[in-house]
């Protein structure tokens, strides 16, 4: 079980993680522990570890997020196209990308 408040990440990212746990359950997402930036996380689901989302708050306005979508084939990745997104927009993108409308 992940203790969201114990991880050394930006509060906005912790809020996002808590919302994801609330919506999908404690075991629905995993963090890439190699991501060391305090203002970024990379998440994926246990069922599909090659489909990932890199979410960051650096370079974004207060209360906003950026998200890069990663696919098994790197040429399909979507990088730098989803910046200045609200929490709800990020959640909607993640629902489509990682949870397939779950």
44-48: average pLDDT: 94
Q: Which residues pair with 66 in a beta bridge?
A: 56
Mean pLDDT, all residues of the chain? 92
Asked whether the whole model's pTM tops 0.75, one would answer: yes
Average pLDDT value for residue range 64-91: 96
β partners of residue 42? 54
Of residues 22 and 36, the one with the higher pLDDT is 22
């Amino acid at each position: 079980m992940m203790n969201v408040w114990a991880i050394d990440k930006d509060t906005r990212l912790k809020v996002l993680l808590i919302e994801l746990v609330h919506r999908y359950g404690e075991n629905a997402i995993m963090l890439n522990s190699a991501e060391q930036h305090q203002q970024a996380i990379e998440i994926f689901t246990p069922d599909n570890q090659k489909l990932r989302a890199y979410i960051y708050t650096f370079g974004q306005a207060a209360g906003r997020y950026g998200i890069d979508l990663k696919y098994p084939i790197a040429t399909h990745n979507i990088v730098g196209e989803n910046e200045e997104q609200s929490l709800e927009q990020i959640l909607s993108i993640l629902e489509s990308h990682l949870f397939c409308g779950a």
